[in-house]
Every structure is written in C-alpha cells, then in structure tokens.
C-alpha cells in the first residue's frame, strides 16, 4: 500500500487579458495508504487541476508531491509514478477508443506495461478476470464502446485502470455523467475494490453524498483553496464553513446515503 500527498501546491493560469489567476493556492492533500479521500467543490474550484498535479500531468508553480514518502521531481513526476497512480474520469465513453473492442482496450494496456499473460487463452482468461472484478460478463469483450451503457463504459475504464495494478486510483467525478440509479452501483464497486485490493482512492465529486458513500475523509475546495476538511458525516451534520453549507444546500441528494461503507 502506498500513500500519495501533495503539499503547498500553487498553480496559476493565464487569463485572457487579465493577467494570471491562481487555480490552486497553497493546497495540501494527503491520501494515506489504503485510505479513501473525497475532494469536493463547485465547478471551477480547482478539483481537476489538483487531480492533474497529483497525476504528474500538470507542473505546479510551487509545492511538492510525495509518493510513498519520497519526493518526486516535478519535471518528471508522471514518469516516476509509472503505473502506480491511475485515473478514471467523468467521460468514460470518451476515454475509450471508439474503434477498439473491450478486449482490445484491455489487452493494449496490459501489453504496453508488459503485464499480459502469454498465449491467447491465458490472455482471454486474464481479461475475463479483469471484467469480473468490475462486475462485467466476459461476453462483453467483443463489444465496442457505443454498444455499452454509460455505467458499463465506466466499469471498463475502471478495469483498464486496475489492469496495471495501481496503488492509488484517482476518480475525477466518475459518476457525474451517469443515471442516478447507476451511480450508487459504481460507487459501491469503488468501495469494494478499495477494500479488496488495499487501493488508496481519491474520489472527486461536487456532491458530498457521493464522497460520504465511499470516503472517510473529505476535503472541501473553494476557488483554489481548502476551506474545510474532516469526516464526511461531520461535514453533513455540522459544516463549519459557509461555503460547505452552501454546497450542501445547492446539491440535490442522491439515493446513496443508505449505502453502507
């Protein structure tokens, strides 16, 4: 099990005609080994920017990243993480190549990382196992993304992320584009995978109910700053910051509160 932490991250972007603005301002966030941390905030608060920093895809102006306690070189962070940190995001269908079957998508990532079993039958069994882990039948292997539902696409994306045996999974609004009935099932899958594999999980959402269903710690981001953090249940019942209270008031409740952790 491996931890991932970002410390004192500041990211500025050029704004057209208006100089620079801080998308992230001195943000720190730590995901302990095997922990599930939620990141919530309204649209534009900087969640995806922080995700890109944590993935080593966005170099911050300042701050540092620690993987398993070792500081990463920010210029080379993605390579140094290798396959240990993987991402899934909202647009699952868009993340899949429309011309690739499920089999091709999964076998490609296994091959890229040299993880595929030798021989056709062994590879087919490996892919069937991956699909089973995300609750999909083997019969789906010949399907193309357009033939899958949104929930199935997201499961394939989760399987593809799991294929490379990551230590940390980052999910950037993974259920925001899904029907409400499907959302709870995907969240339950993430919670189960985290329990069964010891994965560390960062779950990004704009809804605290989503985070509460899976995570034991939530971090609230407003305009690039952490304004509050703590156990999701406490944020629900006793939000300290007015922004958290507004977030709770603004978002319709999902039927995931009853979901046991």
Residues that bind ligand ADP (CB under 6 A): 13, 23, 41, 43-49
| Angle, CA of 8, 216 and 233, to the nearest 5° | 110
Instruction: Confirm or reject binding of residue 200 to Mg ion (CB under 5 A).
Output: no
Q: Which C-beta is closer to ligand ADP: that of 128 or that of 205?
A: 205
Q: Which partner from the list ligand ADP, Mg ion, none does 49 bind, CB cut-off 5 to 8 Å by kind?
A: ligand ADP
Q: Rounded to whole angstroms, how far apart are CA atoms 101 and 109?
A: 13
Coil/strand/helix, residue 15:
coil
Q: Which partner from the list Mg ion, ligand ADP, none does 44 bind, CB cut-off 5 to 8 Å by kind?
A: ligand ADP
Shortest reach from residue 47's CB to Mg ion, in Å? 5
Instruction: Confirm or reject binding of residue 58 to Mg ion (CB under 5 A).
Output: no
Q: Which C-beta is closer to ligand ADP: that of 117 or that of 225?
A: 225
Q: Which C-beta is closer to Mg ion: that of 135 or that of 150?
A: 150
Shortest reach from residue 117's CB to ligand ADP, in Å? 37
Q: Rounded to whole angstroms, how far apart are CA atoms 24 and 36?
A: 22
Paired sense of beta strands 4-14 and 62-67, if any: antiparallel
Instruction: Confirm or reject binding of residue 152 to Mg ion (CB under 5 A).
Output: no
Q: Which partner from the list Mg ion, ligand ADP, none does 239 bind, CB cut-off 5 to 8 Å by kind?
A: none
Q: Which C-beta is closer to ligand ADP: that of 49 or that of 229?
A: 49
List residues bridging with 14 in a β-sheet. Answer: 20
Shortest reach from residue 187's CB to ligand ADP, in Å? 19
How many helices (H) and strands (E) the chain has is answered by 10, 10
CB 173, CB 186: distance < 8 Å: no
Instruction: Confirm or reject binding of residue 183 to Mg ion (CB under 5 A).
Output: no
What residues have CB less than 8 Å from 19, skipping those under 6 apart? none
| Total interface residues for Mg ion by CB under 5 A | 2
Of 177, 187, 181, 210, the closest CA to residue 94 belongs to 177
Instruction: Confirm or reject binding of residue 45 to Mg ion (CB under 5 A).
Output: no
Write the CA distances from 126 to 35, 133, 144, 234, integer angstroms. 27, 11, 19, 42
Phi, psi of 225 (to 5 degrees): -125, 145
Binder among 24, 27, 36, 48 for Mg ion (CB under 5 A): 48
Q: Which C-beta is closer to ligand ADP: that of 44 or that of 198?
A: 44
Shortest reach from residue 222's CB to Mg ion, in Å? 14
Q: Give contact residues for Mg ion (rule: CB under 5 A).
A: 47-48
């Amino acid at each position: 099990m491996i931890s991932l932490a970002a410390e004192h991250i500041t990211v500025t972007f050029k704004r057209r005609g208006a100089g620079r603005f801080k998308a992230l301002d001195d943000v720190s966030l730590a995901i302990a080994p095997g922990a599930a941390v939620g990141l919530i905030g309204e649209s534009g608060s900087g969640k995806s920017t922080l995700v890109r920093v944590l993935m080593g895809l966005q170099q911050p102006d300042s701050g540092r990243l620690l993987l398993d306690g070792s500081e990463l070189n920010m210029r080379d962070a993605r390579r140094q993480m290798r396959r240990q940190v993987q991402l899934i995001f909202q647009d699952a269908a868009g993340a899949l190549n429309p011309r690739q079957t499920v089999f091709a998508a999964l076998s490609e990532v296994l091959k890229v990382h040299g993880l595929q079993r030798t021989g056709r039958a062994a590879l087919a069994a490996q892919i069937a196992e991956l699909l089973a882990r995300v609750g999909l039948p083997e019969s789906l292997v010949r399907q193309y993304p357009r033939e899958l539902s949104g929930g199935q696409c997201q499961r394939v994306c989760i399987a593809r992320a799991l294929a490379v045996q990551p230590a940390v999974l980052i999910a950037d609004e993974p259920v925001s584009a899904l029907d409400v009935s499907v959302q709870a099932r995907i969240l339950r899958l993430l919670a189960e995978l985290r329990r069964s594999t010891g994965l560390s999980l960062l779950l990004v959402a704009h809804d605290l109910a989503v985070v509460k269903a899976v995570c034991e710690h939530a971090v609230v981001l407003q305009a690039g700053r952490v304004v509050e953090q703590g156990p999701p249940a406490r944020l629900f019942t006793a939000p300290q910051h007015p922004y958290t209270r507004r977030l709770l008031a603004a978002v319709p409740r999902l039927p995931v509160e009853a979901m046991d952790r």
